[in-house]
Structure 1
Amino acid sequence: MNAAPLFVVAGPTAVGKGTVVRRLREMHPQVTLSISVTTREPRPGEVDGVDYIFVSDAQFDRMVDNGDLLEWAMVHNQNRYGTPAAWVDEQRENGLPVLLEVDLAGARQVKRKVPGCRSIFIEPPAWEDLQRRLLSRGTETLEEQARRLRTAREELAAAGEFDVVIVNHDVDRTAVELAEAMGLN
């Protein structure tokens, strides 16, 4: 039996990936979104096991050492994020398409490990839009905002590595384009 498809969505910080993916899942509830493991502290309103699986550095180290993660990365030189491999495999073997929302390093790892996955990059209409979105969130310190913007420039330069690039002009329109790229429409 062939496994269901695996889709990888990446893009720079504050481009709206999470919002677009939530809208996509409202339109196509059959798409299963992987929940990432992270060493960062929860933001206000985030729920462990729903938004992320929050773990200690020691727990994350064990997961890496045991090969439990399909991909993992240090993001913004600060916190680690990863995708539980067994969960992804189980969903796909049960016929459920899986969507991973990851950073650039994670997307590169998944593409190496899972040939045939479909990679999709979400980019902002303009650099100024990305800056405005990041600053308006108000969830990061000025130092972290500057670090995320430096990382975003590197991430934007890698858009050509992806199968599809979608510009996030509007959440609904972008979600429809993402669904099309995933063959859901």
Structure 2
Amino acid sequence: MLQVLFSGDTGELELSGTRQGLLAFGLLLRGKAGSCDLSENRRPFPYERSLSEIALREDPERATVSIVTEAQTLRIQGGREALDLLADNLEGFASEADASDHCHVDSPTYDYIAPESDSLVIAFMKSAEPSAAPRLSPYTSARQTDRGPDRVAGRPRVSLRTMMPIMAQRIMVSEWAGLVS
């Protein structure tokens, strides 16, 4: 699963996906030509819009990779060596980065990126990477998590965090009632 978000104000792109999606895209970059459809993000904040396609083409005449947005398409074209370097960086990020990391790929940073390219950020989709384990509060037993996060033994779970404001209100009301009577 991949998505590309675009900001017209900054000219920045974010290519994000699952680990598997980013690794698969690295393989696509190693081919001569191809395209892939993208997942639509209806709320691309802080970007302006979500693109619908990536089109890839090897151009033996080029020594660099051009990464530009045209309408709803992200066009990537370049020489084989430069495309392989981009694939190496993408696959390295997808294999080794933490779920909260991101990587900037742009012309000033990498000499294999063409100067006319849009700035590209590679990241993981925000909800694509599952957390390693459910987080338990000190007031929740492991047995309770088997019944789901919102219910304990068929009843809604009430946490101490939820109860504290209610208990504080009751204490204040009873103190106030004691002062009045």
What band does the TM-score fall into relative to the shorter chain?
Answer: under 0.3
Normalising by structure 2, what TM-score? 0.25
Which protein is richer in strand relative to its size?
Answer: 2
Tell which structure's C-alpha radius of gyration is larger. Answer: 2
- Greater RCO between the two (CA within 8 Å, min separation 6)? 1
Which protein is richer in helix relative to its size?
Answer: 1
